[in-house]
Structures are given as C-alpha cells and as structure tokens.
Structure 1
Amino acid sequence: MTQPDTRTGAEPGPSAQAAQPEPHAQSPAAERNRGPQTLRSMLSFSERVDLLIRVVLAVAVSIGCYFIIEPFLTAIVIAAILAVVTWPLFASARSSAGGSTTLPALLMVFLLIIGVLIPSSFLLIALAQQIPKGISVIREWIASGFTIPPAISEIPGIGPWLHDQLLFAIDPASLSTTMQKLLEPLSAALLNAAVNVSNILLQLALVTFIVFFFYRDGAWFADRVQALMKRVSGDLSNELTKILVNTTRSVVFGLVGTALGQAVVAGIGFWIAGVPGILMLCTLVFVLSIVPIGPPLVWGPSAIWLYSQGETGMAVFLVLWGLLAVSSVDNFLKPILIARGSSLPLALIFLGVFGGVIAFGFLGLILGPILLAVGLSMLQAWLKNPILAAKLDPDRPRRSRRPIKREKRESTQAKGNSLDNPSDQENTSE
C-alpha cells in the first residue's frame, strides 16, 4: 500500500510508484557475484544430519536386501527371462480365461514343469551317473598314448599326405601331456556338477515357483520396472524397455534355435557313425549346447567309444564332423538368430555372447547382448541430441543431404497438418 505525500496529502501517481526501487531488489551483477547456492548453504546443520542419516540407512537397507536375495539371484533372473520370453503365450491364456491371472499362471507353471523341470531332472541324473565313467575311459585312453589312427592314411586321395602332415605337426607325447593337464580341471568341474545335481534341481524348482508370481503379478512388476527406467533414463524409458524385451527374446530364441540345430546336425553324425542311443545323445547335445563346450562333451566320448570298439575310421569321422559341422552351427547360426530380433550389429552380438560368458558365466549369454544393446541405444540417443550434433559437426547441415530431406519432409507434414486444421490457417491469415 502506497503512503500519501506529506506535503500535498495526495497519493503518488503511477510514474512515481514505478520510480520507487524495491527494498530487496539486487542488481544482476550482485546476483552473479553471489554464485550458485550449495546444499550446505540451503540446509541447516540439523537438516544435513537428518539427510545423512537417511542416506546411510538407505544404503544399509539396500546392502542387506542384496545379501538376502543374492542366494536366489540366479533363479530370479532365469524366472524373469522365462516370463518375458513366454509372456505372449501367457497373455493368450489370460484372454481365454476372461482376464484372470491365477489360473493361467498355474497352467504356465504346469507346462514348464512337464516340459522343462521333469526332463531336466532325468537328464541331470543320467549325466551324474555317466560322467565318472566317461572320465575314467578318457583317462585310460590318454594314458595308453595318443597315436594317429591308421585309418587316416587309408582315406582315398589325401590319406597319406594328411597322415604325414599330422606326424609333422603333432608330437604325440607332448599332446598326451597337454590333454592330461586340460582334463584335470574339466573333470573336476564335471564331477562337482554331478555332485551338485540336487542343488541344480532345487534351483529349477525355485525358478518355477518364482515364475508363477511373475506371471500372476506381471502387470505390477512391469509398472515398477517402467517407472524405474523412466526415473533413470527419462524420455528414453520406453525405447530402452522395448530393447530389453526384444533383446531378451532374441537371445533366448537364438540359444534355443542353435541348440536345436546342433542337436539335429549331431544326430546326423551319430547316425552315420553308427553310435547307439541317438535320441538320448541328441537330447544331451540340445541341453548342453547352451554351454560353449557342451556338444564336445557328447560327441567326444562317443568318438572315443567308437575308437575303443575298433571303429577308427568312424571315430575320426565323428571328431571331424563335430569340429566342422556341429561347431559351425554354434559359430554362425547363433549370432544370426540373435541379430534378427535385436538392434545390435553382428560383431557386437559375438562380443556380447562370448564376453558375457567370460564376465558373468552362464547368465552372461543373455546379459551380455542385453547390456550392449542398452548401452548402444543410450549412446545413439545421446549423439542424436541436436545441441551435441551441432558442436560435433557445425557444417553438417550444409554438407549432408539428409537434413535437407528431413526439412522437406517436415514442411510437407506441416502443410498436411495445416490442411487438417483449418483453424490454424485462419489464425495465420489473421
């Protein structure tokens, strides 16, 4: 409220009111000299202590939650991957059930038990019984001395030459020593896996238990993940969520397709070589193909068995078939299948699969490509920032034809929008 003039008794006019300076106004130079306010200047001492206590408690609770979940982390990740991959099938079952989630979730878990848990249990029990026998046979074969089979020299055309080249390139004594050194850690790992069959079966049962809740409460989990992605990545949350889902499904489908292809190719080799129990061996190849050295654990002992039965030629054929045909399926088909549904180039698929296995173990087969896909998408979005693009290449609009085409396309869209919205034209004309 303005005060009247003491000399005239009248209130000051508008010009006089505007001329009066505000009591707390400061010049821009003074504002710049003050500098930005820090958190310490904005909060009192007691508020800073309260904030520090809250941060320490949040970190402590997070660490405690991690230690509680850590024993089940592998099962949780596998269950989440199964839920993401099979979610379209669950959505169809949910639609057929009238929107109910409990009954379709139970149906999906039942299918997983019938199709995955029970067959895996029988295979693991069979492997636990056969692994010690196979290791003892391999050790006896290595201890007897590695020799080049005479059947190699009997191959028409190139047999004698191939036999001489192998004699020149391979020292049987040193090769036997090397194979014995390589067999020790491998046999220890296989025996440990055979002993821990009960633990593996328990993990599979835990996966089926957890995946039920992912099915039933999938919408709730999806909302929380979407909120977390939006909090972390902002406008990129929808794009990154799509990348996570598509890459996960592509990697799983690539692994399953590669396993099926390796099982079929290995089965052809077993049939040609005359190895008994082809169906069981093909099933083992299918299951073990998710491990980088899985298929050789099947066709390798089969070749040794053929050699011990006097079928040297077929043993050599099976080894060559496994190295050239079965391994080629894994090296070429897997990256192609994974790249079809993801946004990663083929080279990054190779790096993601093999680097993920080295860094994270079994889960790295899926986590490696997913992390690379998310990182690449974030990098591309960052590079598409117009301010950053102008700093990196200020002359790009004059040299590149793509911005010109984009401008033409935008102008065409603007015309179309103006035609769709006549009110905009009227406002413009006014």
Structure 2
Amino acid sequence: MMLVLLIGCFVVLRPFIAAILWAIILTFSTWRLHERLERALGGRTTLSAAIMTLLVMAVLIGPLAALGVGLSENVVRLFEAVHAVMERGLPPLPDWLAGLPLVGDRLQEVWGALARGEADLRTVLQPQMGEIRDLVVAAAGGLLSGTSLIAISVFIAFFFYRDGRAAVHRLRNVMGRLAGPRARQSLDVAGDTINGVVQGVLGTALVQAIAAALGYRIAGVPGAFLLGFITFFLTLVPMGPAIIWVPVVVWLFNKGDTGMGLFILVWVGIVVGSLDNILRPILVGRSANLPFIVIFLGIVGGLIALGLIGLFLGPVLLAVAYRLVREWSGGTEQAGAVSPQEGSGTARSAPIG
C-alpha cells in the first residue's frame, strides 16, 4: 500500500520535480539572508518569506524578462547585419593582425581564402537563414520556458522559506530512522556541497561578467557594462553568453572593425567562455572542502546528464557518495572530506543543516 502511495505521489509531482529542486536550491542558498530578515521583522516568518520571495523573483526573473525584450527587438537587426556581411563581403584584415609574428601570414592567408570564397559562402548560407530563424525562435521559446520554471520555483520557495525548519526537522528524523547517523551526516555533506556550488557558480559568473565587460569596453561596444551585467546571468546557462557576443562580433564585422571583432571572438567566445570549466570546480572544491576531481566530474557530468539542474545535483551526489565510500572503506577523515564537526558551518545555518 505504501509503495502504491509513493508511486502515485511521484506521478502527480513529476511535472514539478525540476521546479521543486530549484526551489530547494534557491531557499537553501539564501537561507541566511532569510534568517536575518526574519529577526529584523521580529520573528514574523510569513512576512519574511513573502519579502524574500519578491526579492528572489526580482533578481532572477527581472533580468531574464529584460533579456527577452532585448532579443526580440534586435533579432531583425542581427539578420540584417548578417545579410550585409554576406552581400558586401568580409572587410580586410587589419594590418596589425597581418603583421603579427609567427601567425600573421597564416591569418592573412586564411582570411584571404575566406574572402575569395564569399560567393560560395553566400550560396551555402542563404538557404540556411530560415533554419537559423527557427533556431532563434526555439531559443526564445527556451527562454520563456526557463522563465516559467523559475517563476514556479520561486512560488514554491515561499513555502520552503515559511515552513522549511519543520520540514527539514521531519526529514532528518525520517532519514535518521532509515539509515542512522550516517544519513544525517550525508545531509550535512549535501548542505556544504550545495553552498560550495552556489558560491563557486556565482564567483565564476562574476569573474566572467567582469572579463566580458572589459572586453566589450576595449572593443568600443556601446553599453559594455550592461552587456557584462547580462552576461553574469547568461553564464548560468550552457552557451548562454553566446547570445551576447555573437551579435557583437557580427556588428563589429559589419561596421568594418575586423580586428575588434576577432578580439571579441577570441576573448569572450573562447577565453571567457572556458573559465567556467576551470575556475568553477576550483571555487566549488575550496568552498565545499572536497577534492577537485570529485567536483569537476560532478559539475561536468551533471550538466551533460541532467542539464542545468545537474550543475548542483552532480556535485552533491558525488560528494555524498565520496563520503560514504571513505567511511565504508575505513578511511580516516582528512582535509579532502567534510565532517559534521569540521564543516563550513554554512550548511547548519540553512534549514537542512
């Protein structure tokens, strides 16, 4: 009977599993702020939960809505710029690039080959413009879907803010009865890992946003720091910053500024875009006090297997498994693992700690 009940609950809640997981992550990562606000309001938990919900909604949904409006206004301009590049041809390679030692001659040769083959390039690209439009529409649909998911998650987060303590108290009791002290320790490891992932993700996003903004500023792109601010949020989505830098590169090529277009392509598209694969696991590993390889495999594998939510679930699952394997194998606790007594303390300030 209990199994049938659990299966029925899963079927009913299945459409909301992603939203519930995001609500848990949002609530947990902002719990300390909720506690401070609750104390400032004299212990009025419901009011504090409502204010936190509005704040999270403004921070998350506001930039996404602004991005959607900006994309809808500039898609036509982007296609016009692409058509202009195809019609007028590639601009000449700047002399300073052609004069670079070792690579300058090769760059000039490759660029010249591209310029000489532009007629064929237009023939190939022209029929694909319809497919590109379809991709843009699909991306806009994905943005709308993601915004809807966040809105539902924020709504659920209100109840976690309000009733989180009681819910986690029951969860810890149930887990303790099922698996003993090891289950509670696993919850502590999961809590520390979630905090580490949040700090690592936000820290990496900040570094990428600053680096991208500086690149846009050097290239003379209008609104460079606004683009950097939007990049901060787009770095949370795989290939998200390309929504910004690809149109910027096309715009620079269209105005004849080939050198700066190539600079943005290399700096933002390759260098800044690669930072998350290197910097994020390092920051998460330091924050969660876990080995780099565990965090790296958790982040990359989680993203590949589960999408964006895997960015959080992957490291949490591997961290808990890593801790259990160490205990079962009889290993002693060292700096590479997190213990309830030596944890960061952040998790215990949140509801599951």
Q: TM-score, normalised by structure 1?
A: 0.67
Q: Which residue of 2 aligns with 1:237?
A: 183
Instruction: Provide the C-alpha distance between the structure 1 equivalents of 2:115 and 2:295, rounded to a whole number of angstroms.
Output: 37
1:378 equivalent in alignment to 2:324: yes
| Letter of the structure 1 residue corresponding to residue 322 of structure 2 | L
Q: How does 1:98-247 map to 2 (within 5 A)?
A: 98-131=42-75, 133-134=77-78, 137-138=81-82, 141=85, 149=93, 151=95, 153-158=97-102, 160-163=104-107, 166=110, 188-195=134-141, 197-247=143-193
Instruction: Provide the C-alpha distance between the structure 2 equivalents of 1:143 and 1:382, rounded to a whole number of angstroms.
Output: 67
Identical aligned residues as a percent: 33
Instruction: Provide the C-alpha distance between the structure 2 equivalents of 1:144 and 1:232, rounded to a whole number of angstroms.
Output: 70
Q: Which residue of 2 aligns with 1:286?
A: 232
| Letter of the structure 1 residue corresponding to residue 31 of structure 2 | W
2:245–2:269 Cα contact (<8 Å) kept: no
2:85–2:253 Cα contact (<8 Å) kept: no
Greater RCO (CA < 8 Å, at least 6 residues apart)? 2
Based on CA coordinates, which of the two structures has the bigger radius of gyration? Answer: 1
After TM superposition, give the deviation of residue 292 of structure 1 in Å: 2.8
| Letter of the structure 2 residue corresponding to residue 78 of structure 1 | W
Instruction: Provide the C-alpha distance between the structure 2 equivalents of 1:147 and 1:202, rounded to a whole number of angstroms.
Output: 42
Once the two structures are overlaid, the 10-residue window that deviates more, 168-177 or 134-143, is 168-177
Q: Which residue of 2 aligns with 1:263?
A: 209
Q: Which residue of 2 aligns with 1:254?
A: 200
2:37–2:48 Cα contact (<8 Å) kept: yes
1:91 equivalent in alignment to 2:91: no
CA RMSD of aligned residues (A): 3.4
Instruction: Provide the C-alpha distance between the structure 2 equivalents of 1:380 and 1:182, rounded to a whole number of angstroms.
Output: 54
After TM superposition, give the deviation of residue 218 of structure 1 in Å: 0.7
After TM superposition, give the deviation of residue 277 of structure 1 in Å: 2.0
Instruction: Provide the C-alpha distance between the structure 2 equivalents of 1:385 and 1:153, rounded to a whole number of angstroms.
Output: 56
| Letter of the structure 2 residue corresponding to residue 121 of structure 1 | A
TM-aligned CA distance change 1:355 to 1:100, over 3 Å: same
1:298 equivalent in alignment to 2:244: yes
After TM superposition, give the deviation of residue 223 of structure 1 in Å: 1.4
1:152–1:162 Cα contact (<8 Å) kept: no
Once the two structures are overlaid, the 10-residue window that deviates more, 231-240 or 196-205, is 196-205
After TM superposition, give the deviation of residue 352 of structure 1 in Å: 1.2
Q: How does 1:335-414 map to 2 (within 5 A)?
A: 335-384=281-330
Instruction: Provide the C-alpha distance between the structure 2 equivalents of 1:246 and 1:85, rounded to a whole number of angstroms.
Output: 10
1:77 equivalent in alignment to 2:21: yes
Instruction: Provide the C-alpha distance between the structure 1 equivalents of 2:20 and 2:269, rounded to a whole number of angstroms.
Output: 35
After TM superposition, give the deviation of residue 158 of structure 1 in Å: 4.2
Write the deviation string for residues 106-136 of structure 1: whole angstroms up to 9, x where unpaired.
2211222333333332222323443465356
SS at match of 1:65: helix
Instruction: Provide the C-alpha distance between the structure 2 equivalents of 1:183 and 1:373, rounded to a whole number of angstroms.
Output: 45
After TM superposition, give the deviation of residue 157 of structure 1 in Å: 3.4
TM-aligned CA distance change 1:75 to 1:143, over 3 Å: farther
2:231–2:244 Cα contact (<8 Å) kept: yes
2:19–2:149 Cα contact (<8 Å) kept: yes
Unaligned runs of 5+ in 2: 333-353
TM-aligned CA distance change 1:338 to 1:138, over 3 Å: farther
TM-aligned CA distance change 1:274 to 1:150, over 3 Å: closer
TM-aligned CA distance change 1:332 to 1:97, over 3 Å: same
Write the deviation string for residues 166-224 of structure 1: whole angstroms up to 9, x where unpaired.
479999969969x9699998764542231355544333322221111001101112113
Instruction: Provide the C-alpha distance between the structure 2 equivalents of 1:187 and 1:228, rounded to a whole number of angstroms.
Output: 51
Q: TM-score, normalised by structure 2?
A: 0.80
1:117–1:204 Cα contact (<8 Å) kept: yes
